[in-house]
Amino acid sequence: MSSEHSESLLLKKIREGDEYAFEIAFLKYYTPLCKYIWKYVRSESLAEEIIQEVFATVWETRFNLDPGGHLRGLLYEMARNKALDYIKHQKIVDQYIAEAKQERTETPHTTINFNESSKIPFVDEAREAVNDLPPRARQIYKLNREEGLTYKEIAGYLDISVKTVESHMRRVLKILRERLSKYLPFLFLIHDCM
């Protein structure tokens, strides 16, 4: 069987919801994709996170996959696009932080004490939003964002699948984005206070 034919068959099986075919694709492409994306982001954990998101997206949207498509090409294109989106987003964040630091140095007498959270609605609302999450989702969020654990490490620690961790994090981030959208510029500067 030619590799192109086996690729098409694998894609067809994934499209039909065959978990075994998805697992084969994951095992075959996970490591090469991580190495490929590392060249863009220069971080092993970030590359792994991006590739995990790619596979999660493939599985979630499997019914929309082009049955005549090429799985390898699809995975590499999705991974590259996610990495480029991350880089573009990171440049915006870095620029915003640099501008905020510049403003702070230009007005040194203006300081913000994050311990006085009643004066900063975002801090109170962010803490409240995290505390309002379901217990398991809150635990996963804190392990990832505060403890710095990867999805794989969280899955091992909580004895759940990586897919479950990804699913929780997707829902959590969606909830937090919606609830805190009016504070978006501050999200990157105040993250450590939550």
Q: What is the CATH number of the domain that holds 59?
A: 1.10.1740.10
Contact 152, 162 (CB under 8 A): yes
Contact 51, 79 (CB under 8 A): yes
Contact 49, 24 (CB under 8 A): no
Query: Residue 125 pLDDT > 60, yes or no?
Result: yes
Domain membership flag for residue 94:
no
Domain membership flag for residue 180:
yes
**Structural domain ending residue among the three candidates 85, 101, 126:** 85
CATH number at residue 138: 1.10.10.10
In order of 53, 69, 70, 81, 87, the CA distances from 36 in angstroms are 15, 21, 18, 12, 15
The number of folded domains in the chain is 2
The token duo for 37 is 């994306």
Query: Residue 112 pLDDT > 50, yes or no?
Result: no
Please choose, from the candidates 10, 4, 37, the residue with its C-alpha nearest in 3D space to the C-alpha of residue 24: 10
Burial of 28 (0-12, 13-18, 19+ CB in 10 A): middle
Do 118 and 70 share a structural domain?
no
The token duo for 16 is 């039909």
Do 122 and 58 share a structural domain?
no
Domain membership flag for residue 58:
yes
What is the model's pLDDT at position 76?
96
**DSSP-H helix ranges across 107-150:** 121-131, 135-145
Domain membership flag for residue 42:
yes
**More reliable by pLDDT, 187 or 127:** 127
**Structural domain ending residue among the three candidates 85, 100, 128:** 85
Query: Residue 10 pLDDT > 50, yes or no?
Result: yes
Q: What is the pTM of this model?
A: 0.51
**More reliable by pLDDT, 166 or 130:** 166
Do 80 and 22 share a structural domain?
yes
Helices 121-131/162-180 angle, 10° precision: 150
Query: Residue 89 pLDDT > 90, yes or no?
Result: no
The token duo for 155 is 């899955």
Do 56 and 118 share a structural domain?
no
Do 53 and 123 share a structural domain?
no
Task: For residues 148 and 144, give the distance between their C-alpha atoms in angstroms, rounded to a whole number.
Answer: 5
Contact 141, 150 (CB under 8 A): no
The token duo for 60 is 């979630």
Do 64 and 26 share a structural domain?
yes
What is the model's pLDDT at position 191?
46
Domain membership flag for residue 146:
yes
The amino acid present at 160, given as its one-letter code, is I
Full domain range(s) for residue 58: 3-85
Contact 154, 143 (CB under 8 A): yes
What is the model's pLDDT at position 27?
94
pLDDT tens column, 19-51:
999 999 999 999 999 999 999 998 898 899 999
